[in-house]
A and B are shown apart, each in its own frame.
Chain A
Amino acid sequence: MYNIVIVGVGGQGTLLASKILGQLAMNNGYDVRVSEVHGMSQRGGSVVTYVRISNDQPLYSSIVEQGQADIVLAFENLEALRALPYLKKDGTIVINTQEILPMPVITGATAYPADCLARVEAEAKTVEINAVEIAHECGTYRAANVVLMGVVAKKLPFSVEEWHKAIEQCVKPKFLEINLNAFDRGYSYND
């Protein structure tokens, strides 16, 4: 069983990431629970998606709770810090090293913690990657979510072929090549 938490800022493409993961697990005979966030927080707020996959024990709950996550995938530095408590003791957090300022920082009510990544590194096994830059090299910064899937893929028991198949099932054909390329770049990322 794997519990995965995907966090980011509304509009970053976290839903596609959870969709690919769910599809992949289903293709491989796993039971799957995915919990998505729709509505108000999608408007630039913190968003959290939970993915639970299992081929050895029954799943009931669709949410991952504090201390239960094998993997946290964070699309943004501050959200990585916020999501840290989800992680199991020996879990891994994968971070797309991007800073998106929340409104209380923009208005000057509070400051963006300068030591965000250091605080995460001090507490957990961390993989940091500038997925936006890599995605941009692949053709569009919007494929950053699939670059990150490539990084996560190395922590999960599925073959590259299976990942490619799941991506093909989840993205529109005209963006398939960019996305497969983005995945491979993430997969070959040296952490």
Chain B
Amino acid sequence: MSLHGLATPKEDNQLKQLLLGNEAIARGAYEAGVRVSSAYPGTPSTEINENVANYPEIYSEWAPNEKVAVEVALGAAVSGARSLACMKHVGLNVAADPFFTATYTGVNAGMVVVVADDPGMHSSQNEQDTRMLARASHAPVLDPSSSQECKDFLKMAYDISEEYDTPVILRVTTRIAHARTLVELEDRVERPLREYKRDIKKYVSMPANMIGRHLYVEEREKKLAEAANTLPINKIEWADTKVGVVTTGAAYNYVKEAMPTASVLKLGLAYPMPRKLIEEFASKVETLYVIEDMEPFYEDTIKAWGIKCSGKDLTGVQGELFMHKIANKFNGEEPVGPMNTQGIPARPPVLCPGCPHRGLYHVLGKLKLTVCSDIGCYTLGALPPLSGVDTCVCMGASIGMAHGMEKARGHEQAKKTVAVLGDSTFCHSGLTGLLNMAYNRAVGTVIVADNSITGMTGHQNNPANGKDIHGDPTVALDIVKLCDAMGIKHVRIVDPFDLKELEKVVREETERDELSVIISRRPCALIVKQPGIPYVSDPDKCRNCGMCLKIGCPAIRKTETGVAIDPTQCVGCGLCQQLCHFGALHTEA
């Protein structure tokens, strides 16, 4: 696909375009006059800021993490510019600290945080529902159902943000963020910078100031909840009144197809909820269902208001909703699926041919180490045949958890344990954990799997690779000097394709009664422009011992007469050759 490339949408007098939800959000930011956008990549949110970067009118950047992104957006908004921060759902946990107080300080110009949830966990570690955090932080949250709504709701979010002086969340889910639907384009409306004035009582979050702000937050929320009753994005679509459905987001789309005769109340503003509107709707239908992805967010509140309804008792909380599920649970139709996959081998994701992480996991496995890993492509080292990961929890947790194991179980445990995390994850949340280890006299080994890119999310630059969001040169974090500044004495750089050297280095560093950092450095196989010459197997020499199969390379297959290497997949990394005792693997050249 890289050969073709995906041509960027052509602007020439095409007012309608087929855009991803995420592209539509970027377009919305452009049209809304946004001036500053900061984000950390995370599926399913990444394409928002990637596309924002195509608009020269907006300053855009990759931040090292979501907390920084929200702080940047808040600073920009307080100083008078419309701003945007984007992240996946778990990113909001990282950014929760500034965000939960930003709702108190309020903004000046509009500020929107786009948060992408992942029901069904297509590419995430949990199924948390951003609406719950929005309510906990008293932030309004909008929930679109199509790309057009992504754009329209984002623009409305800026208006709400400015009218109610609060950051606003635009929450999307995977099926909205990664669906292409038709979008009508409009022009950008430039917004002059708003005046910035020092306002200590508002922007300095000391207790005495924030007591007043908290009262303001309560008042504001009541006002918006009242206004929500007549907000056009909260709308009733009357049909048969036997069944009424309160719904939102992607679930709305499935309800419209699964229950075409039902009356529907679509909540575009997910929080605060319009009580009068819901009560009016509920009073006019015989049976009320609440159909929403993830948590019973509406349902619990509607029940608390004394209105009889059901929803999650029929579907449960785990997994995505879809049309057939709704037709079955709420419309009494025969169940369809799940799809029969019997006798069909699964195809889990794998480390790519030529992936530098493969050599690293091979060595860690050979040395039988406990591996506290982290979030990134290298989490795939947990899958067979490498099966080389003990833990993976959240960005940066590898370091903290390895340290915790050492403090709980002593130095001998530390010598059998390593923390593994990528360069981007290290910049995101690894630095403070490493500082904690250095500061608290840790014994341990931290391995930075430095492939010079943020890989899993589709190759974004990061503070360690010397390129900004546009690919232009900038400073690169020098991890060696950083470790030196932290007082870490042992820092080694090693090529993960040199298995002998890598093994030697890992042995030496794990045996130490001190803290070590190993930088396992080689660029991601997908960003190397010139793949090497594919390897072939010599049938006369191959004894079919299976040694080369242990590294789980998708280009190598076992046949009855020996292994065979797929020349369309092999990139000539040579790792397999290092494992072969019989000299059977070589390049044709």
**Chain A residues engaging chain B, CB cutoff 8 angstroms:** 9-13, 15-16, 18-19, 22-23, 26, 31-46, 58, 60-63, 65-67, 78-79, 81-82, 85-86, 100-113, 140-143, 145, 169-172, 175, 179
CB distance from B150 to the nearest CB of A (A): 12
Cross-chain contact B256 with A36 (CB below 8 angstroms)? no
Give the top 8 A-B pairs by smallest Cβ distance, nearest first: A39-B123, A39-B43, A45-B349, A62-B179, A102-B347, A60-B253, A34-B180, A43-B349
A15 to B9, CA, bound (A): 15
A11 to B181, CA, bound (A): 23
Cross-chain contact B349 with A110 (CB below 8 angstroms)? no
A33 to B5, CA, bound (A): 21
Cross-chain contact A35 with B178 (CB below 8 angstroms)? yes
List the A residue with the shortest CB-CB distance to B2: A142
Cross-chain contact A33 with B123 (CB below 8 angstroms)? no
Pick from B4, B44, B122, B250: contact of A16, CB under 8 Å: B4
A67 to B344, CA, bound (A): 18
**Contacts A16-B4, A33-B179, A65-B324 hold; do A169 and B10 have CB atoms under 8 A apart?**
yes
Question: 21 A-B contacts, Cβ less than 8 Å apart?
Answer: A33-B181, A35-B180, A39-B122, A43-B377, A46-B347, A61-B257, A63-B323, A78-B345, A81-B344, A82-B344, A85-B337, A100-B554, A102-B346, A103-B383, A106-B552, A107-B385, A108-B549, A109-B384, A112-B345, A169-B7, A170-B6
Residues on the A chain within 8 Å of B250, using CB: 62
**Contacts A44-B350, A103-B383 hold; do A60 and B254 have CB atoms under 8 A apart?**
yes
Cross-chain contact A44 with B43 (CB below 8 angstroms)? no
Cross-chain contact A103 with B43 (CB below 8 angstroms)? no
**Contacts A113-B343, A172-B4 hold; do A43 and B178 have CB atoms under 8 A apart?**
no
Pick from A15, A32, A143: contact of B18, CB under 8 Å: A32
**Contacts A38-B458, A62-B175 hold; do A106 and B556 have CB atoms under 8 A apart?**
yes
Cross-chain contact B178 with A85 (CB below 8 angstroms)? no
A140 to B3, CA, bound (A): 9
**Contacts A34-B179, A142-B1 hold; do A61 and B384 have CB atoms under 8 A apart?**
no
**Contacts A36-B20, A107-B552 hold; do A172 and B5 have CB atoms under 8 A apart?**
yes
Give 9 new A-B contacts, CB below 8 A, not counting A18-B180, A104-B384, A106-B556: A32-B18, A34-B18, A36-B180, A37-B178, A38-B46, A39-B44, A40-B349, A102-B346, A106-B558
Is there a chain A Cβ closer than 8 Å to B322's Cβ? yes
Which residue, of B182, B336, B549, has the highest number of chain A Cβ atoms within 10 A?
B182
Cross-chain contact A23 with B18 (CB below 8 angstroms)? yes
Residues on the B chain within 8 Å of A13, using CB: 1, 4
CB distance from A66 to the nearest CB of B (A): 5
Cross-chain contact A102 with B4 (CB below 8 angstroms)? no
**Contacts A32-B182, A65-B323, A106-B552 hold; do A22 and B18 have CB atoms under 8 A apart?**
yes
Cross-chain contact B6 with A16 (CB below 8 angstroms)? yes
List the A residue with the shortest CB-CB distance to B558: A108
